[in-house]
């Protein structure tokens, strides 16, 4: 036995279907395929073909979208302790390799999430793969390598590690110059419930994309879309959980005095207000939060209870938010009467 002889070769039938069709050269060696055999199989018009550097497609036809995705991850994944071999299946991951420090992002990721505004996988010229910044990895073939200082926790979609939707959106938007395409992507992300507007804006800010006018315009539409959806959920919360009808979208003023601020819902008899916290993480976030805090403090000094609710809480825990508002309404009888304020339509 020489140092090139694989120890305990694993038969190809032990792998799941897609992993029998796309393997690295190191994995093939681990399965007993010699370099000479590999070269023979990958000859022109041979039964195998090189899909990417050190990644082999074990049939002669065009790769499927699934094969392209697995091939991209095999190319980009961090090597295991055995040189050139991506992490092997474990008891917890029996059906294929663990793609360490690599995940699908960009338009391919959004298509995997089910976005209708993205192209089919096979029509994409390239597939974006996100890896840590320190990795020495070059783009190759149809794989575009994107780097990040902090790798996010991936989500598993169809058995593949995929970047979270906000990060995948930012990576997709970075390469798009069509304002309408950007707007469609951001709007679908919020309307279909994939993520909250604030999370998208946070990623776009970190990617330094908010200096592009077409992105800023799309973000403005996104925030308007997010507020509209949150308002609809607030109406539904009041209706479905039997809360008293408030007055909607009002401004409060002291009689003959200053403007106290706008509110999304207000119960005058109980002096309870609800305001949607739809702040987006932009550069003026601290100043905007200070304005929120000053407004709340001023209203509560007047005896008005203010309940702040985020769109995310309305989406994920509508019943719990209704209970919070109901508790505030019930507690109003135990408080001193609030100051008289003028309620005006906003």
**Per-residue pLDDT, 97:** 57
Tokens of 130: 């996100």
Q: What pLDDT is recorded for position 6?
A: 36
Torsion of CA 145, 81, 50, 136, to 10 degrees: 30
Any idea what the Cα angle at residue 314 is, between residues 309 and 316, rounded to 5°? 130
Distance CA 53, CA 141 (A): 8
Burial of residue 140 (number of CB atoms within 10 Å: 0-12, 13-18, 19+): middle
Residues forming beta bridges with residue 240, ordered by sequence position: none
Question: For the chain, which residues make up each domain, given as ranges?
Answer: 244-345
Instruction: Judge whether 274 and 265 are in contact, CB under 8 Å.
Output: yes
User: pTM of the prediction?
Assistant: 0.76
Give the per-residue pLDDT at 86: 52
Question: What is the widest separation between alpha-carbon atoms in the chain?
Answer: 96
pLDDT in tens, the chain (346 residues): 333 333 334 444 444 566 678 999 999 998 899 999 999 999 998 999 999 999 999 999 999 999 999 999 999 998 754 444 455 444 334 444 578 899 999 999 999 999 999 999 999 999 999 999 999 899 999 999 999 999 999 999 998 999 999 999 999 999 999 999 999 999 999 888 898 888 899 999 999 999 999 999 999 888 888 888 899 999 999 999 999 999 999 999 998 878 888 999 999 999 999 998 876 555 455 555 567 778 888 898 999 999 999 888 998 899 999 999 999 999 988 888 888 999 998 8
Contacts of 249 (CB under 8 A, 6+ apart): 262, 263, 264, 265, 345, 346
Instruction: Check if CATH label 3.40.960 holds for domain 244-345.
Output: yes
Alpha-carbon span 326 to 332, nearest angstrom: 10
CA distance linking residue 262 with residue 275, whole number of Å: 8
pLDDT for 143: 97
* Rounded distance between C-alpha atoms, residue 126 and residue 120, angstroms: 12
Which residues 6+ apart lie within 8 Å of 277 measured at CB? 292, 308, 309, 310
Total number of residues shown for the chain: 346
Neighbouring C-beta atoms of residue 143, cutoff 10 Å: 23
Residue 89: predicted pLDDT? 44
Given this model, what pLDDT does residue 95 score?
45
**pLDDT attached to residue 164:** 97
Containing H/E element for 248?
strand 247-253
Q: Which pLDDT belongs to residue 337?
A: 83
Token duo for residue 292: 């929120």
Q: Which two tokens stand for residue 295?
A: 């407004």
For 118, counting Cβ atoms within 10 Å of its Cβ (0-12 exposed, 13-18 middle, 19+ buried), the class is buried
């Amino acid at each position: 036995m020489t140092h090139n002889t694989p120890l305990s070769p694993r038969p190809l039938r032990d792998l799941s279907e897609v992993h029998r069709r796309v393997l690295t050269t190191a994995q093939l060696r681990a399965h007993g395929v010699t370099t000479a055999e590999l070269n023979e199989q990958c000859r022109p018009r041979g039964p195998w073909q090189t899909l990417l550097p050190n990644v082999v497609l074990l049939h002669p036809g065009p790769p499927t979208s699934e094969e392209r995705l697995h091939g991209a991850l095999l190319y980009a994944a961090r090597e295991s302790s055995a040189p050139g071999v991506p992490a092997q299946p474990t008891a917890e991951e029996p059906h294929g390799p663990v793609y360490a420090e690599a995940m699908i992002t960009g338009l391919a990721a959004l298509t995997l999430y089910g976005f209708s505004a993205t192209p089919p996988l096979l029509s994409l010229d390239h597939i974006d793969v996100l890896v840590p910044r320190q990795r020495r990895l070059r783009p190759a073939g149809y794989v575009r390598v994107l780097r990040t200082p902090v790798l996010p926790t991936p989500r598993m979609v169809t058995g593949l590690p995929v970047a979270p939707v906000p990060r995948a959106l930012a990576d997709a938007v970075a390469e798009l110059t069509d304002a309408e395409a950007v707007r469609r992507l951001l709007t679908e992300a919020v309307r279909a419930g994939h993520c909250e507007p604030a999370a998208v804006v946070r990623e776009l800010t970190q990617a330094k994309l908010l200096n592009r006018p077409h992105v800023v315009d799309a973000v403005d539409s996104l925030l308007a879309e997010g507020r509209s959806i949150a308002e609809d959920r607030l109406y539904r919360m009041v209706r479905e959980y039997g809360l008293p009808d408030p007055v909607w979208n009002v401004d409060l003023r002291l009689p003959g005095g200053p403007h106290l601020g706008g509110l999304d819902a207000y119960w005058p008899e109980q002096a309870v207000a609800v305001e949607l916290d739809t702040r987006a993480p932009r550069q003026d976030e601290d100043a905007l939060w200070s304005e929120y805090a000053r407004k709340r403090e001023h209203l509560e000094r007047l005896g008005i209870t203010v309940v702040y609710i985020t769109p995310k809480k309305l989406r994920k825990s509508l019943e719990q938010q209704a209970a919070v508002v109901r508790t505030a309404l019930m507690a109003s009888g135990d408080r001193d009467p609030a100051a008289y304020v003028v309620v005006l339509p906003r």
